[in-house]
Chains A and B, each alone.
Chain A
């Protein structure tokens, strides 16, 4: 529809002076953007730079406070998603917008039905899906229940939804976060194919590697502003990184060689079932030594979270054993977290919003979460010594440079980086023998990332053991001394950090061991 009317040289999308505030926060400020038709256009920026907000405005999810949108050279107000769909825009959200207990067919049809009765719509969609599968190499079983599909296939359903609605412009928000490198490569092939068919694609990501690999042009956002738009061929990752952050960035972590000490934790044949009885961990074994950082790599959802939670005592195991300094740990109950802490096993959880912090608590209340039973916090009878807690919290704030330095501020009012520092201050402050860390820098600005990485390395250099779980391969490679890759609840390979590369780790993340295949 939009493509029929558009002038031959008009940009597919043109944004003029888009601004959007959430309360006092300016998410987007006076943004201009031109996207040429038939190109793949990348948008990069740090977490919170305003990329997703901008795309949500384009998709009618939010209303801009000011500015205008032109589609194919024509001024097009987009008050809601329906208007965006009618303007030929499709979006693949970071968190898929699928109904999990519906079939692929039902998900594709939802909102694009042809009449009040379902049967004719479904029949038409089935035929159309067959055509799309043929034209774009997007095969998927129309009758499969979406919840049973792998993440890669669910993403394919999202793309099919957009194509079924005749989208000419496809927006993808952080599409590779949940994919293995191989799946990501496959997605890129599809995207290139779609571009060659004349579709326009916008790719939002914070991974510079992807920008370099697939985009034709790239726009950089920083703190709600659009700072540059460049031809991908004429730029480089260091230049983009500098534009993103606004200063030069060290992409490496300064650390000396590891001096591995005694085995502190011995994990043998560990198994975990989830509440539905599905096996999430299928027999995992490794040793963790003092003075080393063991990185657990893998695509999200391959058992890393479960491993971390079992070791931290907040999820029961269904089999296997864990020894800490030779003593067997109880793995049967969910309320062992306190006992683990008492042994010197600290835990920075993957999800600080839901787990690591109680958001409505003030900073000082969170500064003792999990350690609130310690004698030093105890007042008379069953009370807590508020003064002692606040003083220790104040010390933590100073040591970890938490801003603003207020123990009384409600935790949700701190930035992501400072929230993570609150957690880290609490967990590192006691000088634990083992630190379990999950996604330590997710949603954290670059300045805080450097600080957090330094603290983790410093803990290692004091002879402590660190188990690092991260889905960011860059982070694992920068920090870990030894790397274990998990796939489908098992360890698919273990390598010394210096003796492997991205390609090999990528294969292991997909469950393929190149060493075995060679042999």
Chain B
């Protein structure tokens, strides 16, 4: 039994300290490759927040990470570790592309709902298989979802090379979607309201991401299903005792999680690239793990963490341009350090903090 911490220390202080350690370690890496970390941070912040252009890109990336982060967070609430966000996102991209290629002569108001349904169905189906295998055959979700990432990327290559490629074209990608499938960009929408903003890929999917975060909050903390998910996540025997079917919870949670990860394709494929290309996920599924851990699996935390990672991605691109020694791989390093310090090494900070707080009431009592 651990001594109880004040809520604010548990929710804010410990994550902040963990994050500080992660960035300290990242700073040491920058020093190791012979660059100035302070300068790197200033370039990073300027590059990610210094202009409406930078902010637009930052929020565009953040939108992607909200979806993949929520996907991991929802599964965490059920005690499941879905590392398959990358593969589910790939399937989501295929779904989005098929819907867009089919309907792009109509209007985006028709394409968007169809794309949402297609992405959700494809992503959910891809997550359902590991879910069903875990629920009924007892195979480990972590390993199975990792395997499904590899299988999904092989599937994407096959489809783009053999099926969806424009005949005669060299590069393995689909044709460009027609005008009717282009989502409104944020700068155009804000333009209608008389607010000026630089042209960036940020699009209407950002609003969908916020809706998704809100919906997740309602699901987890307000609905009966959310209650059952949390009960199961904390204690499977207690859930069984309460008449909650583990098979149902595992499968349903994996469906929702997979659908959520897949929705990142709305932002990237439909909102920005307007065609399906290889590697369009760019590791976003994995970023979701760091985002969920950092955001404590709470939708609000996930949104904040996603914005931070959006800053890292946008600022990191700027950084690689201005300080070439710090390539974009630095982002993966930071991501790893965030996962390490906020996830695996959490107790390194928690232990001392708990001891600190345990001493205080004792002193007050005497």
B-binding residues in A (CB < 8 A):
22-25, 312-314, 334-341, 347, 349, 351, 354-361, 365, 369-370, 372-373, 378-379, 381-384, 386, 410, 412-413
A23 and B241 contacting across the interface, CB-CB below 8 Å:
no
If A24-B361, A335-B243, A335-B245 touch, does A384 touch B238 (CB 8 Å cutoff)?
A: no
When C-beta atoms are compared, the residue in chain A nearest to B354 turns out to be: A23
Contacts of B139 in A (CB 8 A): none
Find out whether the CB atom of A369 lies under 8 angstroms from the CB atom of B2.
Answer: no
Is B234's beta carbon under 8 Å from chain A? Answer: yes
User: What's the Cα separation between A53 and B235 when bound, in Å?
Assistant: 27
Given contacts A358-B231, A383-B218, A384-B227, contact A337 B243 (CB under 8 A): yes
Chain B residue nearest in CB terms to A409: B4
Question: How many Å lie between the Cα of A395 and that of B225 in the bound state?
Answer: 25
**A358→B238 contact, CB < 8 A:** yes
Report A370 CB to chain B, min CB distance, Å. 4
Closest A-chain residue to B236, C-beta based?
Answer: A354
In whole angstroms, how far apart are the Cα atoms of A313 and B225 in the complex? 21
Do A383 and B234 have beta carbons less than 8 Å apart?
no
Query: Which of B4, B222, B228, B243 has the most CB atoms of chain A within a 10 A radius of its CB?
Result: B243
Contact B223 A339 (CB under 8 A): no
Residues of B near A386 (CB, < 8 A) are 222
**B197-238 contacts to A (CB < 8 Å):** 218, 222-225, 227-228, 230-231, 234-235, 237-238
Within 8 A of A (CB), among B85-108: none
Q: Is the CB of A337 within 8 A of B361?
A: no
Given contacts A23-B3, A335-B245, contact A383 B224 (CB under 8 A): yes
User: A412–B230 Cα gap in the complex (Å)?
Assistant: 16
Interface size on B, residues (CB 8 A): 28
> How many whole Å from A345's CB to the nearest CB in chain B?
12
B residues sitting closer than 8 Å to A (CB atoms) are: 1-4, 218, 222-225, 227-228, 230-231, 234-235, 237-245, 248, 358, 361-362
- Chain A hits for B239, CB < 8 A: 358
Question: Can you report 18 A-B residue pairs in the complex whose CB atoms are below 8 A from each other?
Answer: A24-B3, A312-B241, A314-B240, A335-B244, A336-B243, A337-B240, A337-B242, A356-B241, A359-B234, A359-B235, A360-B234, A361-B231, A365-B227, A370-B241, A372-B227, A373-B224, A378-B224, A384-B224
Distance in angstroms between the alpha carbons of A35 and B1 in the assembled complex: 31
Which A residues are in CB contact (< 8 Å) with B218?
383
Tell me the nearest residue of chain A to B2, going by C-beta. A23
User: Would you call B238 and A355 a contact (CB within 8 A)?
Assistant: yes
Chain A residues with CB below 8 A from B362, complex form: 24
Task: Pick the contact of B225: A356, A359, A382 (CB < 8 A).
Answer: A382
B4 and A383 form a contact (CB under 8 A)? no
Known contacts A24-B362, A335-B244, A410-B4; decide if A354 and B238 are in contact (CB<8 Å): yes
A334, B358: Cα distance in complex, Å: 43
Instruction: Provide the residues of chain B in CB contact with A23, threshold 8 Å.
Output: 1-3, 358
Q: Contact check: which of A369, A382, A383 meets B242 at CB < 8 Å?
A: A369
Question: In the assembled complex, which residues on chain A have CB atoms less than 8 Å from the CB atom of B4?
Answer: 410, 413
A-B pairs, 9 with minimum CB distance: A338-B243, A337-B243, A370-B242, A23-B3, A335-B245, A355-B241, A354-B237, A382-B223, A355-B237
Contacting residues, chain A, for B240 (C-beta < 8 A): 314, 334-335, 337, 355
Which chain A positions have C-beta within 8 A of B244?
Answer: 335
Choose one: A339, A356, A378; the contact of B238 (CB below 8 Å).
A356
**Could you list 8 further interchain pairs (A-B, Cβ under 8 angstroms) beyond the known A335-B245, A379-B222, A386-B222?**
A24-B361, A354-B238, A358-B239, A361-B230, A372-B224, A372-B228, A384-B222, A412-B1
Chain A residues, CB < 8 A from B234: 358-361
